[in-house]
Copies of this chain bind each other. A is one copy, B any other.
Amino acid sequence: MKTRIADLARPDLTDLEPYVVKDVPHKIKLDANENPFDMPEQIRKLIAEEVGKHSFNRYPDPAAMALRELLAAELDVSADQLAIGNGSDELINYIIAAFGGGKVIFSSPTFSIYGIFAKVWGTEVVDVPLSADFHIKPDDIISAANAGGRSVVFICYPNNPTGNCFSQQAILDIIERSNAIVVVDEAYHEFAGETFLPQLEQYENLVILRTFSKAFGLAGLRTGYMIAGRRIIREIMKVKMVYNINSLSQKIALILLEHKDEVFPYVEKILRERDRLTQRLDGLNKITPFPTDANFILFRMESDAEAVFSALLENGILIRDLNKPGLLENCLRVTVGKPEENDAFLDTLRDFYEQR
């Protein structure tokens, strides 16, 4: 072997940096839009029972049929309109694998994975940035989608990191008028209540993404799902790894779905805390929180975003620093935590300004 590794690697990925999640010491974690309430005791017991009899040595059901059938019943769709992913990340990957090669279109600031996976699949990225008030520009997206070649449009709804749901009519325009696969990523659906599920029957180019990582509090177990027409699901199945969802995650997602009445009171708690946190942030001088439909709040400081982020971290509170020139200048994002976590966050903010 005379060739260097760099020459054997794809030249178009030379400048791509590995996505690194920094391991910053902290006590309160409000950076990743996780559900702050961990698995209830009674559900842990059911999982432990499953562990006692689980066939660890057998390959998982590649079709994840039990989970798809229960989800289908919940959502009033057919099991063959569903695909399960190792997190919805994996489904984003498969959508680009199956329908990519042309353009991937999205509106920044949004979930960064759409752009990263597009690059990995060698697909052109078209960013049609949000307006200053964080709304999508349907005409520009449709023009980009219809400019020739295949297209996939990703719309995060509610949008991460801005927190808002875009206009339903604007999204419908895109679905109706663009010659594209339109993916509505409803990762935060359970906090917003809004959904494009009723539109699924009418539009065969519509894909809806959901996840167990947020409202269901199952980020560790990597289970997401997509709902779409059978033709789209068939294309996804072509590129899907056979055994992509491990057998224990399949079972645990099933158990959670069967006991969702015990899980969902946490969503109500998070929504109450979200409102309280928004009001308190709004009452602070020099801070403007943006309206949110998700379990996190984006807020803008008049200045000092960097200093505030550092002060929080010094107090063991990790949030997400999104501050950079452009639409997110001086912006930070905080995930709604438990009441005492939110109080610690608010206290630190207040102290920061009082000490100045």
Interface of A with B (CB < 8 Å)?
1-3, 5-10, 13, 16-19, 21, 29, 32, 34-39, 44, 47-48, 51-52, 54-60, 62-63, 86-87, 89-90, 93, 97-101, 113, 120, 122, 150-151, 175-182, 203-205, 213, 217-222, 229, 231-232, 234-235, 237-249, 252
Contacts and interface: CB of A to CB of B under 8 A. Distances in A.
B8 A241 contact: no
Given A217-B57, A220-B54, A5 B232 contact: yes
14 contacts: A3-B179, A3-B205, A5-B229, A5-B235, A7-B150, A8-B99, A8-B205, A32-B58, A37-B57, A48-B48, A54-B220, A101-B122, A221-B246, A248-B249
Given A21-B63, A221-B246, 8 more contacts: A1-B180, A8-B180, A10-B101, A16-B238, A18-B234, A57-B219, A58-B219, A222-B246
Contact of A59 (B205, B219, B247): B219
Contacts of A90: 241
Nearest to A247: B220
A181 B8 CA distance: 7
Most buried by B among A17, A35, A51, A234: A51
